[in-house]
Chains A and B, each alone.
Chain A
Amino acid sequence: AQSVTQLGSHVSVSEGALVLLRCNYSSSVPPYLFWYVQYPNQGLQLLLKYTSAATLVKGINGFEAEFKKSETSFHLTKPSAHMSDAAEYFCAVTSGGGADGLTFGKGTHLIIQP
């Protein structure tokens, strides 16, 4: 079985500040890990993914995430927050290479303060 825990259902940062969204996973086999973003009333858009290549993964919109096996973590970061980053962010894991679907965390709502 696999699972994802996202710490903090809501995270608030000031515009220009560092964004850090936390994700810990549990998987009995080497995982594939994903971060998706969901803007209000829209579907899910892939931000980035880890597929056992480089442990530091760069995604769209200036986001990146680092896979740390020892900590079973895949935290999402962005050096400087923009107002347009306000959205819901989901961490997800699959062990079947995606073929058996994704297990999602509960999501983190990112709020950007002007």
Chain B
Amino acid sequence: DAGVIQSPRHEVTEMGQEVTLRCKPISGHDYLFWYRQTMMRGLELLIYFNNNVPIDDSGMPEDRFSAKMPNASFSTLKIQPSEPRDSAVYFCASTLAGSSGNTIYFGEGSWLTVV
């Protein structure tokens, strides 16, 4: 299996611009998670989906952040407008509930720098 695929791997953008991060989960997985990693706050769960439906978005920092999952094989995390404090590594992860102790598999991350 190809694993969780994220794009872009690296993005540098100017403050105020829109940023869209993309994720393709492992085929057949029914849960998808978006995490953010920063030095100050560590790994934070932003939002997760079950069968393409958002279940908990309480970790989304503010209204500038939005996430969608239009189908089982694709999700986006959008930041509009972006700010320097959004600079972080954003990870997408997926799992199949009830399988293998529900191991959550992570993508390689999208490294975002907002200048």
B97 touches A98 (CB 8 A): yes
For B33, the chain A residues whose CB sits under 8 A away are 101
Which residues of A are in contact with B by a Cβ distance under 8 Å?
32, 34, 36, 41-46, 49, 51, 90, 94, 97-107
> Do residues B56 and A100 form an inter-chain contact, with CB atoms below 8 A?
yes
Given A43-B91, A90-B43, A104-B42, answer yes or no on A99-B105 (Cβ-Cβ < 8 Å): no
Q: Which residues of A contact B31 (CB under 8 A)?
A: 98-99
On chain A, the residues within 8 Å of B43 by CB distance are: 90, 104, 107
The 10 closest A-B pairs by CB, nearest first: A98-B102, A51-B101, A104-B43, A43-B108, A44-B106, A97-B102, A101-B45, A99-B97, A43-B106, A106-B42
- B70 lies within 8 A of chain A by Cβ: no
B74 CB to closest chain A CB (Å) equals 19
How distant is A102 from chain B, measured CB to nearest CB, in Å? 6
Q: How far apart sit A104 and B44, CA to CA, in the bound complex (Å)?
A: 8
Q: Which of A90, A94, A107 contacts B102 (CB 8 A)?
A: A94
6 cross-chain CB contacts under 8 A: A32-B101, A49-B103, A51-B102, A99-B102, A101-B48, A101-B104
Chain A residues near B98 (CB-CB < 8 A) = 97
Q: Mark B23-55, 1 if CB is under 8 A from A, else 0.
A: 000000001010000000011010010100001
Q: Is there an interface contact between B97 and A97, defined as CB atoms closer than 8 Å?
A: yes
In the complex formed, the residue of A with least CB distance to B50 is: A99
- Chain B residue at minimum C-beta to C-beta distance from A52: B101
**Interchain CA distance A92-B56 in the complex, whole Å:** 19
B50 surroundings in chain A (CB, below 8 A): 99
Q: For A98, A100, A105, which residue has the most chain B Cβ atoms within 10 angstroms?
A: A98
**How many whole Å from A3's CB to the nearest CB in chain B?**
12
Closest to B109 in A: A43
Determine the chain B residues whose CB is within 8 A of the CB of A94 once the complex forms.
102
The listed residue (A45, A98, A102) touching B45 by CB distance below 8 A is: A102
Which chain B residues lie closer than 8 Å to A98 at the CB level? 31, 95, 97, 101-104
